[in-house]
Amino acid sequence: MSRIREKFRELKRSGRGGFIPFITAGDPDLATTERLLLELGKAGADMIELGVPFSDPVADGEVIQRASERALRNGVTVHDALTCARKVRQDIDVPLVLFSYFNPLLQFGQERLAVVASQAGIDGVLVTDLIPEEAESWTQNLLRHRLDPIFLAAPTTSEKRLARIAQHAHGFIYAVSRAGVTGERDEMTRDAEALVKRVRLVSDLPVAVGFGISSPEQVRAVWRFADAAVVGSAIVKHIEKLGQSQDLVRHIGQFVRSLLPRM
């Protein structure tokens, strides 16, 4: 059983939702990324999404775009992101999901990516711009190396495509809370809950909701109808604000703890 599947079973047994933070590898630098991964695990993350910086992150808002730009200026690559994961895996037991656009992974090599990611302790790979209609070989390649292929579903996703996503996805399905790009929002839309209901009609996989979640109230709201909440831009915004501060990791840990609803 994969670490992702086991984590969701553990969450279900405990009767609570999951919390999945996102950071970009190499923002502000690779050494800090390693420390952040460890701190996020200590702060209560049930899984962690590690973003691969990309020059044209079209699904992301300005905050995560700037994080990619900072990491790319540092020369950070797919290999660097995987090396970060490998270095911390012996000290962290939470599932790690590599979050990327397809181009960097294609350049790295599909077979090579699966081998190196598995060796690094990555548990799943989410490719934001890979459509399920073109994912057969990709999915099978990941599964051969015991990696969960994770797919996005949006409120605008058709019923036909949802069925295809359910066919290819493993681990969990990432439900985008609204149409548009990543970024903080003051309120969660009803689109997210409606989408989760649609996903559950075609798949028994856990469903995580992301895009726009930035407060413990929003995390709790997501937990009422989904299995996990993903927080990205709110965390990355704090990383940007703190810059090269020596207290960055500690402050991010405190911020993440503040996002967790009190049970």
Residues designated catalytic: 49, 60
| SS (HEC) of 37-105 | HHHHHHHCCCCEEEECCCCCCCCCCHHHHHHHHHHHHCCCCHHHHHHHHHHHHCCCCCCEEEEECHHHH
- Supply the DSSP symbol for 226: S
Alpha-carbon gap, residue 6 to 4, rounded angstroms: 5
Alpha-carbon gap, residue 40 to 58, rounded angstroms: 26
Q: Find out whether 105 and 78 touch, Cβ atoms under 8 Å.
A: yes
Q: CA Rg, the chain, in Å?
A: 17
Q: What token pair was written down for 261?
A: 């609803």
Q: List C-alpha distances in Å: 6 to 84, 123, 124, 167.
A: 23, 11, 13, 20
Q: What token pair was written down for 133?
A: 């209609």
Q: Find out whether 169 and 143 touch, Cβ atoms under 8 Å.
A: no
Alpha-carbon gap, residue 108 to 122, rounded angstroms: 16
Q: What token pair was written down for 200?
A: 């559950």
Which residue's entry shows tokens 């991010």?
252
